[in-house]
Amino acid sequence: MNQFDLNGKTALITGASRGLGLTFAKALARAGADVAITSRTLASLDGPRAEIEALGRRVVPMALDVREEASIRRAVDAAHDALGNIDILVNNAGCNIRKRALDVT
């Protein structure tokens, strides 16, 4: 049995337009998962969408700003509507704010 077989599973990856998010999305797709990929701008997901489609998996790109609860709810609902239940969540989106942690709102 292949421990990394994700056929029939769905993943939602935040911050998937580049870097680690894109790497996670492609790795999960190679293992058989269909993926919902997100970024703050939909246009930045054109390349990642094509790369994942080339792996033979379903992919749904969507705009998501993890700083806004309404945006999160819309993205989760859209991913569920398009791909079914979400089995895997990769909370990758982040930012680099050069302040003391107590000074970040």
pLDDT in tens, 41-82: 999 999 999 999 999 999 999 999 998 999 999 999 999 999
pLDDT of residue 63: 96
Torsion, Cα of 76, 40, 96, 15 (10° steps): 50
Higher pLDDT, 4 or 61: 61
Q: What are phi and psi of 44, to 5 degrees?
A: -70, -5
**Residue whose structure tokens are 């246009």:** 43
Helix (H, G, I), strand (E, B) or coil at 59: strand
Contact 25, 13 (CB under 8 A): yes
Confidence of residue 97 (pLDDT cuts 50, 70, 90): confident
